[in-house]
Structure 1
Amino acid sequence: MKHILIIEDDPDIGDMLDINLRDEGYRVDIATNGLVGLNRLKAQAYDLLVLDIMLPGLDGLEICRQVRQMPHYQAIIIISAKSAETQRVLGLELGADDYLSKPFSVPELVARIRALLRRVDALEKAVQIKSGVITVGDLTIDPVAHEVRLGKQPVALTAKEFELLLFFAKNPGKAFTRMALLDQVWGYSHDGYEHTVNSHINRLRSKIERDTARPQLIQTVWGVGYKFADTGGMPS
């Protein structure tokens, strides 16, 4: 679930955004003071920041500048009563991804948030693909380091379990028979060895699935075999 911070000193606007963004399925925090908001950003990483410019404590432009010096990238949408072109250009030059003048349409802001988060996700996936790292939900597979993590916790796999998981992850959404998996991962596809696939998948599930009774990553395709979750359908 994406986590959004709103730094806005107008309680009516803050409450309105809070209600609408929660209805969209986002987690939302609100700060009504610039310094308080900046401290929250320093304490934890958010996926997106909705930022007013005229704030008590510290103005939004300075917050924007400091956020862009932080190691974690956070998408920023500025909402401001300052609609002059110079203000818009300044906000974008300081690192804001988008700028919306007050008064604004809440559906338009929600649509821009969705679009911006999609762009950020696409960029992150492109970087992961380039580096070889595969991420599905909270599962991360690093083929170069030969490491698997579930959230922040390392997962200990045997060499063959790792090869099987990596093969699945590189082919999301595609169903494979047990014989095909034997051929692709073990290098042979002789009848009678299908139990080898079953036992490895059972062990993998015990290590990477949150609920082995209802596996979300390695799924059974009845009458065929197994498939790995389509990455586009996994929760963030």
Structure 2
Amino acid sequence: MATVLVVEDDETIGQTLISSLRIHGHTAQWCTTGSAAIDSAKNQPFDLALLDLGLPDMDGIDVCRRLRAALPVCVLVVLTARADEIDVLVGLEAGADDYLTKPFRLAELLARVQAHLRRGPATPSASTSATSPFGLDELQIDTAARRAYLGDSEMVLRAKEFDLLSRLAADPGVAITRSTLMAEVWDQNWYGSTKTLDVHIAALRRKLAAAAAASGCRAPEIVTLRGHGFRLEPSVAVDDSM
């Protein structure tokens, strides 16, 4: 199965997570401090890490960044009592792939773990060749190299951001449901909240806007379709003569 790192200073939660992961066939290691987790990450690879942001010795966001640097291909899920979106965004920007807010149900956490471990990189829809670059406006997606460009400038995207942008760009102008995005970018058996999708959409919008401002290129717009999903469409040209 998988090798999982649990970083949690609460003894009850830590023991429960370790026991449950081992019952499900995973190899699990438990650290109660950020420094111990960083040392463990330097000494052995992990497939997935569960990181509590409220640690006694270090700031959890800093631990997140250092774990991401030490474990670039590890799935990193943060556990946080900070429910505000800005706190979740900070965690995702620090390198996390997903998050759960406390208190959480053990069944939901285990289902998320299984979903992440099953899921490989998402691929564009069948209507688009995965080996041919494609895009909209001045955005170009190269799925073979897993790189995205706005004009001549490469965008720096995290794994799920790239997968999500690729899926939207594969069918420009088409309304794609939330359930389709969750199934194809995360997992078809996703369990629990889909707020992680909204957080990733918000991050993508910021990065597209920043890249457009820096390069002077036109970036497509991610349109929210309330009660349905999202659509990627060309930016609206501004008439400078007006």
TM-score by length of 1: 0.50
Greater Rg over alpha carbons, structure: 1
Point out which structure has higher relative CO (alpha carbons under 8 A, 6+ apart): 2
TM-score by length of 2: 0.49
